């Protein structure tokens, strides 16, 4: 009888040990379920801003029709007259709006307003479009063009204020305030109506 009790106690102990092991294994399995594991993701590579891009060296002068220097001391190249960075495409990367003109030896040249993709490489920025060029002046056949004074961006609306001339007016007499608007429609800029006001 004593031997039977010892065997019974031993069997109970073994059964209890097995149950404890099964419970432990079940908890370990639950802890490794797919829903309870954390997955580390690699953040997307950030694209450097166009803020520090040297536009005077990026935009070729020949694209603006800049003349070659007559002598080594003759002013040449291009100059940046106005610049604004703002995200109009909605990708979180500000586009660059850059007004550039040829460097003149005696008088200023017409501005070209270029727009560059904020998601592109600052060393080789991608041009989206040209909003203004030397054919957008208000002076008719003289070809004075415009001199961009300010660029403002609100949402997808771009407002550009420039100096212009009346037809037949001398270069020194320019007193037209020209306001142009452009709206980004998701694929391109749509030009709005132009306002021309004679400054007092």
State pLDDT tens for residues 160-193.
999 999 888 888 777 899 999 999 999 999 999 9
Q: Which residue ranges make up each domain of the chain?
A: 55-198
Q: Would you state the pLDDT for residue 156?
A: 98
d(CA 80, CA 75): 15
**For the chain, percent of residues with pLDDT exceeding 90:** 54
Compute CA 200 distance to the chain's CA centroid, rounded to the nearest angstrom: 37
Q: Would you state the pLDDT for residue 179?
A: 98
Record the tokens describing residue 113, joined without a space: 């307003």
List own/partner pairs for 101-104 with CB under 8 A and 24 or more apart.
101/64, 101/147, 102/61, 102/64, 102/65, 102/66, 102/67, 102/76, 102/77, 102/78, 103/66, 103/75, 103/76, 103/77, 103/78, 103/79, 104/75
SS3 call for 140: helix
d(CA 181, CA 189): 10
Average pLDDT over residues 16-28: 50
**For the chain, percent of residues with pLDDT exceeding 70:** 76
Lowest mean pLDDT among 18-22, 58-62, 91-95, 147-151: 18-22
| Cβ atoms 115, 189 nearer than 8 A | yes
As beta bridge partners, residue 129 has 115
pLDDT tens digits, 34-51: 554 555 555 455 557 899
Asked whether residue 146 carries a pLDDT value surpassing 90, the answer given is yes
Q: Sign of the C-alpha dihedral, residues 122, 124, 129, 133?
A: positive
Q: Sign of the C-alpha dihedral, residues 9, 13, 18, 19?
A: positive
As beta bridge partners, residue 197 has 177
């Amino acid at each position: 009888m004593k031997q039977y009790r010892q065997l019974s106690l031993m069997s109970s102990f073994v059964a209890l040990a097995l149950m404890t092991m099964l419970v432990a294994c079940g908890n370990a399995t639950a802890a490794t379920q797919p829903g309870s594991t954390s997955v580390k993701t690699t953040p997307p590579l950030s694209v450097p801003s166009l803020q520090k891009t040297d536009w005077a060296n990026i935009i070729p002068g020949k694209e603006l029709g800049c003349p070659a220097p007559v002598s080594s001391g003759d002013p040449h190249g291009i100059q940046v007259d106005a610049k604004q960075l703002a995200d109009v495409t909605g990708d979180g990367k500000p586009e660059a709006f850059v007004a550039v003109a040829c460097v003149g030896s005696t008088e200023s040249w017409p501005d070209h307003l270029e727009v560059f993709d904020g998601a592109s490489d600052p060393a080789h920025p991608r041009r989206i479009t040209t909003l203004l060029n030397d054919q957008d002046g208000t002076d008719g056949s003289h070809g004075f063009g415009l001199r961009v004074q300010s660029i403002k961006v609100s949402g997808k609306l771009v407002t550009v204020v420039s100096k212009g001339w009346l037809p037949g007016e001398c270069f020194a007499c320019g007193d037209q305030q020209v306001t142009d608007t452009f709206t980004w429609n998701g694929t391109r800029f749509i030009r709005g109506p132009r306002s021309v006001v004679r400054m007092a």
